[in-house]
Structure 1
């Protein structure tokens, strides 16, 4: 049997959703129907609905692939999450394709009943120019959306939908980025308003005024390690549930959600499940982005060079933990002053990374490096005034990965590979690569470039000694 509403009653009570999915309605629209959303925001939202008795359901919109939408519809939008146990989550009440179901998405976003939009579209989904951080209006996909085609980017679609909401009712709404970017709320607001400014809409100035005064873009920090789904994931869920779940996800037990307390309209009471609402998320955000995500990227490129497959594989080496602690020690001085316990956070990171039950693949983490490195490492280099030995080693491993990509993907893959063409020496390659990802100023630092280039031969030989 397949997981569905008709098979829910066959599940043991401990495997069933916290609230009956049939009692929920779409009050939140989410863009990005990936494993992370299912294991994070969907879990918090179900708990919020159960605790409050309010019908907080999610309409999940997938921007591109129809496959997740079709699979979820087959299962009445039910799926399971496995951490310490396996439990079905029922907070998603609709699964939609952004383009094929454009009419329904329009209806939802213009309805005053929908008061929250959330996004997990990864860094590349924001189409920001790496040099300026602003919307890249020259990108062919954004340019096509601005030229008048039905929008196919999330940014173009969301900007268009918000404008339609303004014209229909002007009802307030909160738009919540759940992607790993410093100041993600402001970053999202900037690309949306930039799209509106570049549009040819006669009322674009009025739309801009409404976005600035009525729509909220709270900053957030999301944290939970959710490996890519494999056949083993679905097999384990089926064994636990007694029914087949083709949308099963597995995750570590740890999860965190910190949100800026600046919402413009009603929202789910996510604090009922431990979410933290604060006046300023920056200390939390930078600690997570620079320590966890930053060391994750370092683990990925160094581990791939050493022949490792997962994060736990790297931590099982003689140098993995030393690398994490050395990297975080170099980065921690750039964090803003706060009462957060950085040493305890690093200790927890080491423990989380070493968990062999979480098969977090290095190829998954290493993908889209040109965007991730720009967010996670370049600001640290600027604030430090250069790189310490571990950060320089990690940068050398990323440089190596641009030539030997290990099966990872990157939106700038061709441009990065071209940085090697005709280069007279390694230092030239390093400077070109830094420039390509928005670090032209760093490329002009001879000491930094030399420090990275000096470590490259050892990385190429798979000798990792942080």
Structure 2
């Protein structure tokens, strides 16, 4: 197979495989930070369908914070790529055409800034994972002592900025100075109150900068930049060689950047935009006054279950979510965790029992190969969002939390393993264990590393977590 996917070859594909909209008819009206698989399988699909169904030219320029290689590969394909939905009855593949530009944040900084100041761009979206926000675990604001953030603050708006927060803050400041129209900045990362969290770190960056007009910039941002909260949901596994081979065979041309996903997808957005946006509701997106009930349900039930499956599955020597669900404890883990956490959820969201039923079906999908190691990465950031708030609420109410205690034990066990998943706090976490350290003391130290000193001081909790460790070391999952 010699031909590659591009605008010429895509025109020769069967209609069912071609994009829903002609990319040549789109213009950049959305800038997206984070050129990963999730964005290409989620927001880019909603935007493509919104453009196709409305006739409006909503195109996306995607900005890669780090991977210039991905940018180059996407440009070589005229920013086209394929999406394969892994369905139990058989996979479905087609090309997505909503991305019309690709930039590398460092080398293309001037082009990124120009787009952020462009009046025609009215939406910025982000999928940069929790660690991309550089939040302090103590305050929730910008961690100005983090080396990349400190370097960006020293560099100033005209220097080489390496953090998305710094680049975004500088671009928005330039937009405010130019008097450009309002804009909405939309976090699509799995964090509680992600809109407010993003607003805070961006405002903190401007406030801490040495820009002489920082006060004026902040005043203008207050009225011209909105940060709606969102909930995004679609399982998007890492793309493997088999996925690439399948996409190539389905298309009849070579695709260097295919993505795969489950059939299910959801997007709930706070209806508080400051400027025109794609009509995503035409493809099923839900606009609500308050996303909190949906956000907490997703974070604590879906993401919480995913993390629990990842760490317990790793302890049991398993590789994928489907394998964990096939174990005699898999479905029981999901259902009991959902039941345990349900009392901590606010009213107005999905029914927890029905939500758990859907999770079991989704997680069992035999066509999916979602790696536990992928889900278990960056756990020091994920568990603080997915488990600890619910655990605090349950402890305060005097309720038991055996499933969350088991999940914490599995995470604690994994931090000391030689094959531990990647984590920004890996060195600090590994230092908490060792044969000379009592298990309960190790659990306390781990909780302090992730900013949970209050839970570390809960002797009943740390003892309960430590008591689970011997069985996990033996590979036994007891729920």
The answer to whether the superposition gives a TM-score over 0.5 is yes
> 1:209/1:153 Cα in 2 relative to 1: closer, same or farther (>3 Å)?
same
SS at match of 1:267: coil
1:213 Cα deviation from its structure 2 partner: 1.7
Could you list the runs of 4 or more consecutive aligned residues of structure 1 that deviate by over 2 angstroms after TM superposition? 421-424
Separation in structure 1 between the aligned mates of residue 12 and residue 80 of structure 2, nearest angstrom: 14
Separation in structure 2 between the aligned mates of residue 243 and residue 407 of structure 1, nearest angstrom: 38
Separation in structure 1 between the aligned mates of residue 193 and residue 67 of structure 2, nearest angstrom: 28
Once the two structures are superposed, the pairs formed by residues 11-410 of structure 1 within 5 Å of their partners are: 11-83=13-85, 84-148=91-155, 149-338=159-348, 340-385=350-395, 388-404=401-417, 406-410=419-423
1:169 Cα deviation from its structure 2 partner: 2.1
Count of residue correspondences:
466
Separation in structure 2 between the aligned mates of residue 18 and residue 120 of structure 1, nearest angstrom: 23
Q: TM-score, normalised by structure 2?
A: 0.96
User: Would you say the 8 A contact 2:338–2:352 is kept in 1?
Assistant: no
Establish whether residue 452 from structure 1 lines up as the match of residue 465 from structure 2. yes
SS at match of 1:222: strand
Separation in structure 1 between the aligned mates of residue 317 and residue 437 of structure 2, nearest angstrom: 28
Separation in structure 2 between the aligned mates of residue 69 and residue 118 of structure 1, nearest angstrom: 17
User: Would you say the 8 A contact 1:399–1:430 is kept in 2?
Assistant: yes
For residues 79-116 of structure 1, give each alpha carbon's deviation from its aligned partner in whole angstroms, at most 9, with x where no partner exists.
01111411100000001000111111111111100000
For residues 163-211 of structure 1, give each alpha carbon's deviation from its aligned partner in whole angstroms, at most 9, with x where no partner exists.
0111112420000000000000000000000001100111111111122
Aligned twin of 2:88: none
For residues 117-143 of structure 1, give each alpha carbon's deviation from its aligned partner in whole angstroms, at most 9, with x where no partner exists.
000000000000112211100000000
User: Would you say the 8 A contact 2:40–2:259 is kept in 1?
Assistant: yes
SS at match of 2:63: strand
Q: Which region of structure 1 is more displaced relative to structure 2, 167-176 or 275-284?
A: 167-176
1:406 Cα deviation from its structure 2 partner: 2.9
Separation in structure 2 between the aligned mates of residue 395 and residue 106 of structure 1, nearest angstrom: 42
SS at match of 1:10: coil
> 1:358/1:405 Cα in 2 relative to 1: closer, same or farther (>3 Å)?
farther
User: Would you say the 8 A contact 1:131–1:437 is kept in 2?
Assistant: no
User: Would you say the 8 A contact 1:28–1:58 is kept in 2?
Assistant: yes
For residues 374-395 of structure 1, give each alpha carbon's deviation from its aligned partner in whole angstroms, at most 9, with x where no partner exists.
1111111111117511111111
User: Would you say the 8 A contact 2:414–2:420 is kept in 1?
Assistant: no
Separation in structure 2 between the aligned mates of residue 162 and residue 405 of structure 1, nearest angstrom: 43
Separation in structure 1 between the aligned mates of residue 17 and residue 371 of structure 2, nearest angstrom: 27
User: Would you say the 8 A contact 1:33–1:61 is kept in 2?
Assistant: yes
Gaps of 5+ in 2: 86-90
Separation in structure 2 between the aligned mates of residue 94 and residue 250 of structure 1, nearest angstrom: 21
User: Would you say the 8 A contact 2:339–2:352 is kept in 1?
Assistant: no
Separation in structure 2 between the aligned mates of residue 409 and residue 21 of structure 1, nearest angstrom: 37
For residues 62-86 of structure 1, give each alpha carbon's deviation from its aligned partner in whole angstroms, at most 9, with x where no partner exists.
0001111011001000001111411
1:15 Cα deviation from its structure 2 partner: 0.2
User: Would you say the 8 A contact 1:381–1:387 is kept in 2?
Assistant: no
> 1:216/1:12 Cα in 2 relative to 1: closer, same or farther (>3 Å)?
same
For residues 1-27 of structure 1, give each alpha carbon's deviation from its aligned partner in whole angstroms, at most 9, with x where no partner exists.
110001012201100001100000100
Separation in structure 1 between the aligned mates of residue 298 and residue 431 of structure 2, nearest angstrom: 32
For residues 146-167 of structure 1, give each alpha carbon's deviation from its aligned partner in whole angstroms, at most 9, with x where no partner exists.
0114211000100010001111
1:419 Cα deviation from its structure 2 partner: 1.1
